[in-house]
Amino acid sequence: MASDLLRFDKGTGKLFLKGADGKPQHVVDTETTNKTVFVLVDASGSMAIKKFDDATKGALDFGLGCISKGYEVGVVVFSDDAAASKPTADPETFRSTIDKLKCTSGGTYLGSALSHTVDYKPAYILVVTDGEVADSAQSLAVAEQLKSSRTEILTIGTDDADQDFLKQLASQSGLSVKVARAELAQAIRDTSRLLR
């Protein structure tokens, strides 16, 4: 038996519940029901020192910007292996997590980093890298799984990154940005403005 208590408006993407007075009341904005974001930072050998420092500074500002919009933010660093932090909405906990990140050197393996986020079904993932991913087929497969759960994937690559791969990885080619190395921190910081 169909119920007329809940109504989904396809035009606005909003869910409405019939109130006591019979009028619809907005309940959930479906595009923001999941308030989890991950930032994935390349920690491979080519990122050593300056690029990694810039990436983590940008990731800190990005995360704090997301937290101010009501999101929980987790961080995953990746090279040969990936290490993930649990998402948090506490600015000091997030700052402490960023302060502990280390550039581990090694290769650029993104697939396991993306896999760390799957169970969270995050609203957004931001991938930051400067290189060519060694496991591109696996990474794209995990990315497709994430996209099918409505995760928006955004990518930022420095001028030596594999831009064709990053455009495939992103939810839309317009969500993949190529930046000069000197602009990396600013580009990461500015990306938080794209989040609804």
What local confidence, expressed as pLDDT, does residue 3 receive?
41
Average of per-residue pLDDT across 32-43: 90
What local confidence, expressed as pLDDT, does residue 128 receive?
98
Contacts of 72 (CB under 8 A, 6+ apart): 35, 36, 37, 87, 88, 89
CB-facing half-sphere around the CA of 156: CA atoms within 13 A: 27
Q: Comparing 9 with 105, which gets the higher pLDDT?
A: 105
* pLDDT range class, residue 11, cuts 50, 70, 90: low
Q: Comparing 185 with 105, which gets the higher pLDDT?
A: 185
Element (H, E) at 184: helix 184-191
* pLDDT range class, residue 12, cuts 50, 70, 90: low
Average of per-residue pLDDT across 84-109: 96
* pLDDT range class, residue 35, cuts 50, 70, 90: very high
Task: Kindly list the distances between the CA atom of residue 33 and the CA atoms of 14, 27, 143, in Å, as whole numbers in the listed order.
Answer: 11, 10, 20
Model pLDDT for residues 142-193, shown as the tens digit of each residue: 999 999 999 999 999 998 999 999 999 999 988 999 999 999 999 999 999 8
Answer yes or no: is pLDDT of 79 > 80: yes
What local confidence, expressed as pLDDT, does residue 154 receive?
96
What local confidence, expressed as pLDDT, does residue 26 receive?
42
Share of the chain above pLDDT 70, in %: 83
What local confidence, expressed as pLDDT, does residue 29 receive?
42
State the alpha helices, DSSP H only, in 47-157.
Answer: 50-68, 91-99, 111-115, 136-148
What local confidence, expressed as pLDDT, does residue 33 receive?
67
Number of neighbours of residue 70 by Cβ within 10 angstroms:
10
Average of per-residue pLDDT across 60-76: 97
